[in-house]
A and B are shown apart, each in its own frame.
Chain A
Amino acid sequence: MKKTTCYIYFLLLAGTILFPMCKKDNGNYNYIELPAFSIDTTGVGRVSVEQNATLALAPKITFKGDHGTLSFLWRIYLASGRGVIDTLSTADKLEETIANAPGSYFIELQVKEPKNGITALAVYNLTVQEQDAVPSGWLVFENKDGILDLSLVSSNTFISGSNVPELVYRDLLYTRNLENLSGTARQIQRKNSEIILLTTDDMLAVSASTFKINRHFNQFFFNASDAPFVKDAKSYINNGKAFVNGTDVYRGSGNFFNSKIISPDSKGYEAAPYLIAGSYNDFFYDQLNGRYILMSEGSIVGRPFTKKGDLSLFSPENTGRKMLLGGQGYPIVSDYYEELVLSSWGIFTDKVETDRRYLMILNEDNGALANVDVSSAANIRVADLFSVGNLNSFALYSDGQTIRKIQVDMVKGTTAIFGDAGFISPGQEVITAMEIYKPTNQFLFVATWNELTKEGKLYLVQMNEVSGDLTEIVKVWTGFGKIEAMGSKIN
């Protein structure tokens, strides 16, 4: 009886659900094909404009219909944080004066199609620069008869964007500050809104937009009286938390330096001039004891490199080697704080067998990654320039005449392929600086110096980002002094 009742209830329920499905659909609607409608922003990239200058944008709109029916709305608002959303224009092409304060903004374009009520949306990244600002480009730190100055080359051959000028800005330090620098140029590093310039005699911070000098060496210290004498300053880490002065490493809060790093033990240290930046921990190589030393965030006490990784490759705490050349690149790993950090590459010599050369790679996440005997690589013993790719396991090195490459087998970590990369300096020119353009890893900047003509040149060379092969000279700029250091300036 109970079973029968269950069946009856089940049939009633099923009937209740299934019966309405037979009802005729009397809905008052039909289907139409909407016209193709989109805004193409391909190739526009980041847009830059000086404050109070006119910004022109002509969007490429794909629409199968009457363009005259479209309505446009251009708006601008801060890229981060709270701010006002301003309407810029309702015209189809933007041509408006941008009065907003220097900073990063979004420009939003809404295009509405009235017939079907559909909207296409595009957002452009905009950088509003200070007036008289220098655009994005490649900076060269050149020496003209003992006087150092900066020049910048800008070209859409290596910078994406619709309004990249084809220009060379020369003598930026002197023209913007009426100040000269002496010594030898060592390094150009970008840090937030400043560019850090390191010479053998000084360290400067200049505004990345105006190139006005903000700080000299002593002002990098929280207490200026703690600043040491500049002793062949060699390397400023890219997160700004350390720099090498002679063989000492100085560290502080990230905004200021405070004190010299204390050795983790009684052995002391002599820092190699190549620092390796992480997000929380940074590290350097101790030439005296053949080991890597960690520097924690905000601390000046050096610590042993405890992440040993594959110790069959080498021990980071005792390599028995001296670093000759250094760089950072592949593989890029995510650290404890999920920030991307580069691996450390270095060409080393054995302290006993001094004619041997080794390439050693490590990072804080994995420890030792590779240890390759590169003694048979052509002219590696006289190499004085070194640059590492970010996207694959290769490095370029140069003896001043030829650029060669080392491609490391990262699976084994013990073998590599050596060969010419594809660039030989023309005529009497000597290669004085060489840097991979890291925003894309598809170009190599090569600086040369001709002692006879006293002219420096800058070559932009197309590079295969996977193999490191140099395929073509894309552009050449001339008329420089002796370029001793280079770096990118992307707004």
Chain B
Amino acid sequence: MYRCKLIISSFFLSLFIFFGCKKNEQDPFFNGATALSISGDAKQGAVGDSLVFSFGVLNSDVTDTLIKLHMRAIGAPVDQDRQFVLSVNSQLSDAQSDEYEIEKNFIIPANSLSAIVPIRIKRSARTESASATLVMDVSVNENFIPGPKLEIVGQPTSGPRFTLRWTSQLTKPAAWDDFPYAALYFCLGEYSTAKHQIIIDATGITTYDDVMAVSDRWYYIYNKCLEWLNTYNQAHPDAPLRDENGDIVEFPIF
């Protein structure tokens, strides 16, 4: 009986030792190749491996903005500049060439492991009713291979691909006519994106969850929208402002 137990224990022990000698193929950097990954800027609204940007909540004078991609090299720094290749994934992207600007040459500076790639995205007639998508991939070159996807809770994902999506469309805020306040409906009437844009242009206010009817903030929005519309219509006496449905924009007058 004792011999039987000894044989079984020895078998399992040799099994563990044998597999303990197996080469670790889970580590892609085992061969020492340096990799490069992309992430967005949390301050600009990057979430996960993408960033969605809306020009709609900005004053209509704002026609473009700069998005920063953070490039991070994995491996040891070297004492010379290293070029890397960032390519547009044409199969996953639909942004038109005149809707963004990006540099051609990208470099991780000597003795550094990071760089910032600015991409200028633009408002266009198309983005007034649709969104533009730009998918950027790290391509292999003599210096880098695409880095692994690293997810850290609460931070933008770092990985070999980053997706940028932007639009100029506005969406109706829940606070417009939902319970409990319906504050904006009370002072500005039925929702239209034209009215929504007037609020933003006239006041710069883009969030409305805390706007209560007859509060100072509510009066401010109402008064400034009336003023903005009056100024516009006076400048266009024969063409009063119309909304996306072709209706003349009007606000309730108390």
Chain A residues proximal to chain B, CB less than 8 Å? 222-223, 226, 251-256, 258-260, 262, 296-301, 303
Q: List 10 A-B pairs, minimum CB-CB distance, nearest first.
A: A253-B219, A258-B223, A259-B227, A222-B220, A299-B254, A296-B254, A259-B223, A253-B216, A300-B223, A262-B230
Q: Within 8 Å of chain A (Cβ to Cβ): is B214?
A: yes
Q: Do A256 and B220 have beta carbons less than 8 Å apart?
A: yes
- Are A253 and B226 CB-contacts (below 8 A) given A299-B253, A301-B253? no
Residues of B208-231 at the interface with A, using a CB-CB cut-off of 8 Å, are 214-220, 222-224, 226-227, 230
Q: A296 to chain B: which residues have CB within 8 Å? A: 253-254
Contacts of A260 in B (CB 8 A): 227
Which residues from chain B contact A254 at a C-beta distance below 8 Å? 219
The complex places the Cα of A297 from the Cα of B187 at a distance, in Å, of 12
- Residues of B in contact (CB 8 Å), total 16
Give the shortest distance, in Å, between A237 (CB) and chain B (any CB).
Answer: 16
Q: In whole angstroms, what is the CA distance A226 to B221 when docked?
A: 13
Q: Are B253 and A252 in contact (CB under 8 A)?
A: no
Q: Please, which residues of chain A bring their CB within 8 A of the CB of B222?
A: 298-299
- In the bound complex, how far is the Cα of B222 from the Cα of A259, in angstroms? 10
Known: A258-B220, A258-B223. 13 other contacts (CB 8 A): A222-B217, A223-B220, A252-B220, A253-B214, A253-B220, A258-B227, A259-B227, A260-B227, A298-B214, A298-B219, A299-B253, A301-B226, A303-B253
**Are B227 and A298 within 8 A (Cβ)?**
no
Asked if A255 meets B223 with Cβ closer than 8 Å, knowing A297-B254, A298-B254, the reply is no
- Min CB distance A221 to B, Å, is 9
In the complex, the answer to whether A255 meets B216 with C-beta atoms within 8 Å is yes
Please report which residues of chain B, range 197-254, place their CB below 8 angstroms from some CB of chain A when the two chains form the complex.
203, 214-220, 222-224, 226-227, 230, 253-254
- Residue in B215, B219, B230, B253 whose beta carbon sits within 8 Å of that of A258 in the complex: B219
A299 vs B220: C-alpha distance when bound (angstroms): 10
A12 to B216, CA, bound (A): 76
Q: Which residues of B contact A251 (CB under 8 A)?
A: 223
Nearest residue in B to A221 (C-beta to C-beta)? B220
Q: How far does the alpha carbon of A222 sit from the alpha carbon of B203 in the complex, in Å?
A: 11
Contact residues, B66-83 vs A (CB, 8 A): none
24 sampled A-B residue pairs with Cβ under 8 A: A222-B219, A222-B220, A223-B220, A252-B216, A252-B219, A253-B216, A253-B218, A255-B216, A256-B216, A258-B223, A258-B224, A258-B227, A259-B227, A260-B227, A262-B226, A262-B227, A296-B254, A299-B222, A299-B226, A299-B253, A299-B254, A300-B223, A301-B230, A303-B253
Give min CB distance, A306 to chain B, whole Å: 13
| Nearest CB of B to A308, in Å | 20
In the bound complex, CA of A300 to CA of B227 (Å):
8
Chain A residues positioned under 8 Å from B227 (CB to CB):
258-260, 262, 300
- Measured between C-beta atoms, what is the minimum distance from A332 to chain B in Å? 25
| CA gap between A218 and B254 in the complex, in Å | 26
A346 to B: closest C-beta gap in Å = 26
Contact between A259 and B226 (Cβ–Cβ < 8 Å)?
Answer: yes
Closest CB-CB distance, B251 to chain A, in whole Å? 9
Q: CA of A207 to CA of B182 in the docked complex: distance in angstroms?
A: 36
Residues of A within 8 A of B253 (CB): 296, 299, 301, 303
Q: Which residues does chain B contribute within 8 Å of A301, judged by CB atoms?
A: 226, 230, 253
Determine the residue in chain A with the shortest Cβ distance to B214: A298
Chain B: which residue is nearest A222 at the CB level? Answer: B220
Bound form: Cα–Cα A299–B224 in Å = 10
**In whole angstroms, what is the CA distance A296 to B187 when docked?**
13
A259 touches B214 (CB 8 A): no
Contacts of A298 in B (CB 8 A): 214, 219, 222-223, 254
Bound-complex Cα distance A393 to B222 (A): 40
Q: How far is the CB of A192 from chain B (nearest CB, A)?
A: 15
Asked if A222 and B226 make an inter-chain contact with CB atoms under 8 angstroms apart, the answer reads no
Query: Which residues on A sit within 8 Å (CB–CB) of B215?
Result: 253
**Which residues does chain A contribute within 8 Å of B254, judged by CB atoms?**
296-299
The chain A residue with its CB closest to the CB of B215 is A253
C-alpha gap A300/B253 in the complex (Å): 9
Residues of chain B with a CB closer than 8 A to A303's CB:
253
Known contacts being A296-B254, A298-B254, A299-B254, is A259 close to B216, with CB within 8 Å?
A: no
Most buried by B among A226, A296, A298, A300: A300
Taking the nearest CB of chain A, how far is it from the CB of B249, in angstroms?
Answer: 14
User: Which residues of chain A have C-beta atoms less than 8 A from B214's C-beta?
Assistant: 253, 298
CB distance from B92 to the nearest CB of A (A): 43
Give chain B residues whose Cβ lies under 8 Å from the Cβ of A258: 219-220, 223-224, 227
- For the complex, give the distance between the alpha carbons of A222 and B222 in Å: 12
Interfacial chain B residues near A299, Cβ < 8 Å: 222-223, 226, 253-254
Within 8 A of A (CB), among B30-88: none
Complex CA–CA separation, A226 to B216 (angstroms):
15
Q: How far is the CB of A249 from chain B (nearest CB, A)?
A: 13
Min Cβ gap A280→B in Å is: 9
**Which residues of B sit under 8 angstroms from A255, Cβ to Cβ?**
216
Interface centre among A226, A258, A296 (most CB of B within 10 A): A258
Give bound CA distance, A255 to B219, whole Å.
10
User: How near does chain A come to B240, taking the closest CB pair, in angstroms?
Assistant: 13
Expressed in whole angstroms, the Cα–Cα distance for A253 and B220 within the complex equals 7
Q: A136 to B254, alpha carbons, bound, how many Å?
A: 38
